[in-house]
Chain A
């Protein structure tokens, strides 16, 4: 999970996987994804308990639904 200077740079990377080409996104979009409460709440004293609460489970579900999956062949 890396940063690149542009989409063209990401596509030229040796590790580029065409099945995940749609995962190339502007950093602002990834920053929005990583603003999910699953990440925001890491500073709380009861973080692990929170991840298992209704709010935590809902946040994780929302996060998973927003993550790119490999394209079909």
Chain B
């Protein structure tokens, strides 16, 4: 049991179930579906969902119980479009987490396409396991305007 929340084994099972669905379908389960999969009461699954996004750290859509972000993915579209071996549908939580998507798809080629927030021109990054296969343009940089891992309220805005 954790200090105030769900038992650690349940956190593991919940995290695994959510991540598996996001990896396989680019969608996150509703807490009622999570309850059924984990064979736990619906209210417990709702609370577990919130606890897991606070840990990962992601976030729910404001004032809802609906996953918005489950890193490295975003369930709402962002400018970071992700395809896996040519199949699209995923979005990265941010430009930096986009580089971590590859760890969930071993042996596959990850392609991230995004417009530059300054000029709108498209950038492309391709990764395959350990290797950054291609960047277009070659001068792409990452930048955070605030501390990574800062306050929960600022997560969507860094």
Partner-B contacts on A (CB < 8 A): 1-7, 9-10, 12-13, 15-17, 20, 23-31, 33-35, 39-43, 45-49, 51-52, 64, 67-70
Contact = CB atoms under 8 A, between A and B. Distances in A.
Contacts, number: 154
B144 A68 contact: yes
B100 A43 contact: no
Interface string B128-158: 0010100101011111111111000000001
A20 B150 CA distance: 14
Contact of A42 (B98, B103, B123, B149): B103
B144 A23 contact: yes
Interface string B85-115: 0000000001111111001101000000010
Nearest to B70: A42
Query: B19, B52, B96: which has the most chain A beta carbons within 10 Å?
Result: B96
Given A34-B96, A47-B15, A27 B141 contact: yes
Contact of A20 (B55, B119, B121, B144): B144
B97 A1 contact: yes
Nearest to A50: B12
Contacts of A45: 12, 16
A68 to B, nearest CB: 7
A12 B140 CA distance: 14
B139 A6 contact: yes
A9 B23 CA distance: 32
Contacts of B16: 45, 47
Interface in B5-61: 8-9, 11-12, 15-16, 19, 23, 52, 55
A5 B140 contact: yes
Contacts of A64: 149
Contacts of B114: 3
Nearest to B103: A40
Nearest to A12: B118
12 contacts: A5-B116, A5-B119, A6-B140, A9-B117, A10-B143, A20-B144, A25-B141, A39-B103, A42-B72, A47-B19, A49-B9, A67-B147
